[in-house]
Amino acid sequence: MNSQPLINNTIKKIVSLQVPHQQSIDAAVRRQSQLTKPEGALGKLEILAEFIAGVAAVPNPTLHRKTIMLAAADHGVAKEGVSAYPQEVTEQMVKNFLEGGAAINVLANSFKIDVKVIDAGINISSPIKGRLVQASLGKGTNNIALGYAMSYTKATDAIARGIEIFLEAHAENPTNIIGLGEMGIGNTTSAAALISAIGRLKPATVVGWGTGINPSQFNMKVAVVEQALDVNKDLIDDAHLMTSPEKGISFLAVLGGFEIGILTGIALGAAANRVPIVIDGVISGTAVLLASLVTPGIKNFTIPSHLSPEPGHKIVLEMLEHKEAIFDLQMRLGEGSGAALAINLCDVACQLLNNMSTFAEAAVSTRSPAIKTEEHK
């Protein structure tokens, strides 16, 4: 795999795009003002449609094909007892995804969203049946509490493979919007370590409760992240001195996960093709944060679906300069579940923009001119 050239070419394509595409946004705004409603009455739905127009560079965007790409992998740090669930749950949940029994399947079926499940590096005990995209980079990462997660070469390959996965799927069936989903026992620990390292933050302010750990496990999780930052201090310091794209690749190599790397690449591939990217929770947010270290312009393509109770999620969204998410339902499941809900709202927003009648079409009177009153002396 010629990983670095693929990443470099993808970056060049992203940089060459005008995003947001102001002409398309202006046209969408003009149409919004002509629809049979008070100006701004649909609130954030209007803003969503205009944002999507600016990414896709079309004044009337349609979301005929919607996709969640769900990458799964195992993490060596799970051996430290940072999760309430054993590591084999990663493999078991992937089988559940493929059989259609998970929350993301129910949501996706409800909203007519395609789900692609990707083996980014699962510690598989037996062959998995079903339509699993094969992209394994190994049977899980190294334990970041003891050293780096993966080699720089493997991190580069993970991002490049993510780009390839998006490009292959998009060539076969072009998608209009993509959501990022994930599964991996221990991956909230990896995400917390990445956010702490990139933001130079204390782990205690970033680490969350993940899969529902108890207070003792939470304290252990904080200690494990602190240990990971200490053990890898020199590599983290080196990463801070780097520029794009090496900076993003280096942080992934030191503290990341294979699924996080794959999602980073998927985000880059989507951006290069003007496909809006919907962020789910803290893991997919961390993948997009890494993508922003590969090329800063990626931020302009992203939509934050929801705000998770995980403290690191709010921090990531702030790092990506997102003032607020679409909704806050206290969701912390992952899988792309929040992204699926947001994609449905994005679809509705575009349908309203395109299918509502204008005042002229419906023969509805527009707003009355302001009543002018004469100043009394």
**Which tens digits make up the pLDDT trace of 33-65?**
999 999 999 999 999 999 999 999 999 999 999
What mean pLDDT do residues 279-291 have? Answer: 99
pLDDT band at residue 211 using 50, 70 and 90 as cut-offs:
confident
Residue entry with tokens 């590969």:
294
Work out the mean pLDDT of the chain and round it to a whole number. Answer: 96
pLDDT band at residue 1 using 50, 70 and 90 as cut-offs:
confident
Please say whether the beta carbons of 306 and 331 come within 8 A.
Answer: yes
Give the angle subtended at the CA of 182 by the CAs of 78 and 143, to the nearest 5°: 25
Tens digit of each residue's pLDDT (9 = 90 or more) over 93-123: 999 999 999 999 999 999 999 999 999 999 9
Every domain of the chain and the residues it spans: 65-347
What mean pLDDT do residues 57-84 have? Answer: 97
pLDDT of residue 366: 87
pLDDT band at residue 174 using 50, 70 and 90 as cut-offs:
very high
CATH of 65-347, one of 3.40.190.10, 3.90.1150.10, 3.40.190.80, 3.40.50.10210: 3.40.50.10210
pLDDT of residue 293: 99
**Of the ranges 79-83, 219-223, 363-367, which one carries the lowest mean pLDDT score?**
363-367
pLDDT band at residue 373 using 50, 70 and 90 as cut-offs:
very low
- Fill in the amino acid letter for 144: I
Percent of the chain with pLDDT over 90: 93
Cis bond before residue 369 (omega within 30° of 0): no
The answer, yes or no, to whether residue 370 has pLDDT greater than 70, is no
pLDDT of residue 367: 77
Q: Distance from first CA to last CA of the chain, Å, rounded?
A: 82
Other residues' Cβ atoms within 10 Å of the Cβ of residue 118 = 28
Please say whether the beta carbons of 334 and 286 come within 8 A.
Answer: no
Residue 121: phi and psi, rounded to 5, are: 160, 60
pLDDT band at residue 377 using 50, 70 and 90 as cut-offs:
very low
**Of the ranges 125-129, 231-235, 266-270, which one carries the lowest mean pLDDT score?**
125-129
pLDDT of residue 152: 98
What mean pLDDT do residues 210-234 have? Answer: 94
Radius of gyration of the chain (CA): 22
Q: Which residues are catalytic?
A: 335
What mean pLDDT do residues 145-163 have? Answer: 99
Of residues 141 and 373, the one with the higher pLDDT is 141
235 CB burial (10 A radius; 0-12, 13-18, 19+): middle
The answer, yes or no, to whether residue 197 has pLDDT greater than 50, is yes
Give the residue from 253, 315, 232, 255 showing the smallest Cα distance to 281: 315
Predicted TM-score (pTM) of this structure: 0.96
